[in-house]
Chains A and B, each alone.
Chain A
Amino acid sequence: MNPDRDFDRLLDQWFADGPSEAADRVVLQVADRIERQSQRPAWRLPWRLQMNLKVYGIAAAAVLVVAVFAGIRLLGPTPSAGVGGLSPAASASPSPSPTTSPTASDDPNHTTVIHAVNFDVPLTLRYTSDWKPAHIDTGVIDLLHGDTDMGIHSTAMVTLPGATLTDPWIPVPADFVAWINGRPEFTPYAPRTVTIAGRSGTLIDTEYVWKDGTAKRDFLRYGTGAWLYDQYNVGHRIRFIILPGPSGVGGLVVVMNAPSADFDAAATSLDALLATIQFDAPTQ
């Protein structure tokens, strides 16, 4: 008699007991949920599994998503919510059409309103159906525009790599431009000043640098997820917008990663989206 083998057998039998068929509703509900779930681009992989759970577990409490349709003037015109200095298209974004179609989510006139209450300063934004929600959680709104990935992050939840791979991660520095100019991952263009919802911020576009043998790594973490730097970013361009909050609270970091060929169109659409942002609290 071998006690270990007997114990193994005992456990084998114990584990064999129990239900072995999933209820049909499991697959049906998954089929229903993925209808509203976009796929993440391959270059944007989660760095912690926990973030995945939070998408479904916390999102409902974190973010109040109100889908409204063009013609419902929930927010009305937002003359103070412009995105200055981005591109001519920013000011030329069309007004919503009065057409309403609750089921036509691909209707370009369909507008979704997100009231993100779990940001330091709650904010509201509107996006049209060319953007698809990918990940909405505490302090993050992640939307996809074709192969373009865009995240709006609470600055308080963002950390960036230190000077070397072994240095600790750091909060978003006051001089973000100096930080990015010192990063080996990027070749940035000249920064520009932008205005979003009455706040002044810094926009900087950059190309990726990738050399054979470079190790892939995160280049920005936002508490429950990260933006990944790897060879799949070659041929992409990235836009950062750093928007400080009043008195250092409620700042935003916007990151958009787009294939170079799509960048201009995505940037135009991003301008229109950012122009709809309104903060719940006074910004000044």
Chain B
Amino acid sequence: MDRDLVEAAAKGDRAAYVDLISARADRLFAIAHRILRDVDRAEDALQDALVIAWRDLRGLRDADRFDAWLRHLVVNVCIVQATRERKRVNNLRVLPIDGPAAPDEMLTIEIRDQLERGYRRLPPEQRAILTLHHFVGYSSTEIAEALGIPPGTARSRLHNAHRAMRAALEADARPRLVGGRSA
């Protein structure tokens, strides 16, 4: 069914394309948000990616690859947007934590805050890699395919991103251990 819609959209059927993206917008938005950590910017990136996808859809050789192609496009747009944002903003801004408390006691508000700070310090591509791995569920091989990098590079970047996140937690914890006061 979706294959028919993809093929119709690739022939210029705008209604078919809107049907396609309507069914995928939530998931793609969630991915964009995980990379950019900002609702407005995630919406902007998703919009741009969806317009680009419409423009370039005729270049998609295999309609069955539409979902992967679109997801990769969204991720790449987010990376570019996050890179641009890092150049523009010198000081990282940590947004206040909102939403419900973590469902698991393992994820306390304090830890979420630490993760947030550590995550925002990561290069955009590492953020994308972590999102693809922990949110989308990609293996390092699938990440490599999505980002167009060798599998070994994807593995090492995933490892580095994990290490950076872990270091962020440890760095935030260190003053308490040494100085005995809250960070």
A residues sitting closer than 8 Å to B (CB atoms) are 6-23, 25-27, 29-31, 33-35, 37-42, 44-46, 49-50, 52-53, 55-57, 134
Contacts and interface: CB of A to CB of B under 8 A. Distances in A.
Given A18-B34, A31-B14, A38 B55 contact: yes
A134 B162 CA distance: 41
A10 B162 CA distance: 11
Centre residue among A8, A20, A38 by max chain B CB count within 10 A: A20
Interface residues of B, number: 50
Contacts of B21: 27, 30
B39 interface: yes
B121 interface: no
B76 interface: yes
Contacts of A50: 80
Among B59, B84, B112, which residue has the most Cβ atoms of chain A within 10 A?
A: B59
Contact of B166 (A7, A19, A39): A7
Nearest to B131: A15
A6 to B, nearest CB: 8
Interface of B: 10, 12, 14, 17-18, 21-22, 25-30, 33-34, 39, 43, 46-48, 50-52, 54-59, 76-77, 80-81, 84, 99, 102-104, 106-107, 111-112, 115, 130-131, 134-135, 162, 165-166
Contacts of B80: 49-50, 53
B29 A22 contact: yes
A40 B77 contact: no
B54 A52 contact: no
B9 to A, nearest CB: 9
Contacts of B29: 19-22, 26
